[in-house]
A = this chain, B = another copy of it.
Amino acid sequence: MIIILKDGASEKQINELVDWLHGFNVKTNLVDGVHQRIIGLIGDTTKIDMEKIQAKEIVEQVKRVQEPYKNANRRFHPDDTVIEVRGRKIGGGTLNVIAGPCSVETEDQIITTAVAVKEAGATMLRGGAFKPRTSPYAFQGLGKEGIRLLCEARKVTGLPIVTEIMDLSDIDLFADVDIVQVGARNMQNFTLLKALGRCDKPVLLKRGLSSTLQELLMSAEYIMSEGNNKVILCERGIRTFEPATRNTLDISAVPLLKQKTHLPVIVDPSHATGIASLVEPMCLGAVAVGCDGLEIEVHNDPKNAWSDGAQSLTPSQFAEAMKKIAAQAEFSGRPIDKGQE
């Protein structure tokens, strides 16, 4: 960490600051410039709150050199984290494809879709039971019943299930869920993150609409700092000025996150684009840049879907896409996960 001092800071003020900094268990090194004086902090600054330093009267700027996360940092944990879910391994050199509808609507819908995506080659099933909707007048999800139906679909297909939690008061309902998803709008719901950090369950953490990659990693750190290291990061598009797509898929996030962290990284092309015809090319691109998985919306009857129909693939579109995805995955040296069999 580097501290740039204001012009005219007195020796006394600097000495006081330096003494105070030593309280954080770091060494300091004072650099004298013509226009500026700078203090370099030496030691572990991960847990030092920059704001506290910034507030000091004689401080002009504070610049961080070290990343402010530790558990999620590849520098300290060079090996890839591999997360096992009913025999599938996320982050272990294969590609996992999580497919299913935006919302669980009926038993018929979820079972039909689950069977179809399984047949097409999906490795996990997604489906929303609790739905964060912009409007209070839109369908809010089946709740507990939705989770029950997902479990039914798992019984039929054997696919592990992934579904979103919206509030920590519902946490007990997720006991049978294989992967708990934290949606983009909850990426900085820190109370929820801490509670999930105390569970022994994989968490699929989606990047917030306007969250930086560092903030995403800090949210992962919230979960990990409570003891749960099974965090899967998901790039799902960020909010930009471009109106042609629902969001803008930040595809360079994939290799960049893989450099910064040992956690698996997956991509959700459905929410990133909001347009069904863009899902397949985005899947191929995401696999080509090195993602560990994909999360894709598939609905047995998108034109009658209760939510997100415009970005959902039909089972036959998905089957078509999966052929190409599987070939690309094979080509990229990261074949579709076959499970334990």
A residues apposed to B, CB below 8 Å: 2, 4, 27, 29, 31-36, 38, 40-43, 46-47, 49, 51-52, 54-57, 61, 63, 65-66, 68-69, 130, 132-140, 166-169, 185-186, 188-192, 194, 209-210, 212-215, 218, 221-222, 225-226, 238-245, 248-252, 254-256, 259, 272-273, 275, 277-278, 281-282, 284-290, 302-310, 312, 327-328, 331-332
Q: Give the chain B neighbours of A238 by CB distance below 8 A.
A: 240-242, 248
Q: Give the chain B neighbours of A252 by CB distance below 8 A.
A: 245, 248-249, 272-273, 278, 281-282
Per the bound structure, the CA–CA distance linking A302 and B55 in Å amounts to 6
Per the bound structure, the CA–CA distance linking A210 and B243 in Å amounts to 12
A2 touches B63 (CB 8 A): yes
A147 to chain B, nearest CB (A): 16
B132 touches A188 (CB 8 A): yes
A251 touches B282 (CB 8 A): yes
A241 touches B244 (CB 8 A): no
Question: Interface centre among A2, A56, A259, A302, by most B CB within 10 Å?
Answer: A2
Evaluate whether A250 and B256 lie within 8 angstroms (CB atoms) in the complex, with A61-B65, A285-B288 already known. Answer: no
Q: Give the chain B neighbours of A212 by CB distance below 8 A.
A: 241-244
Per the bound structure, the CA–CA distance linking A134 and B213 in Å amounts to 12
The residue on B at minimum CB distance from A215 is B134
B38 touches A309 (CB 8 A): no
B244 touches A56 (CB 8 A): no
B250 touches A248 (CB 8 A): yes
Per the bound structure, the CA–CA distance linking A139 and B47 in Å amounts to 11
The residue on B at minimum CB distance from A248 is B250
A198 to chain B, nearest CB (A): 13
Q: Give the chain B neighbours of A189 by CB distance below 8 A.
A: 166-167, 185-186, 189
The residue on B at minimum CB distance from A242 is B212
A109 to chain B, nearest CB (A): 14
A71 to chain B, nearest CB (A): 9
A135 touches B310 (CB 8 A): no
Per the bound structure, the CA–CA distance linking A223 and B308 in Å amounts to 24
A51 touches B289 (CB 8 A): no
B42 touches A40 (CB 8 A): no
A66 touches B29 (CB 8 A): no
The residue on B at minimum CB distance from A185 is B188
Q: Give the chain B neighbours of A191 by CB distance below 8 A.
A: 130, 166-167, 169
B310 touches A51 (CB 8 A): yes
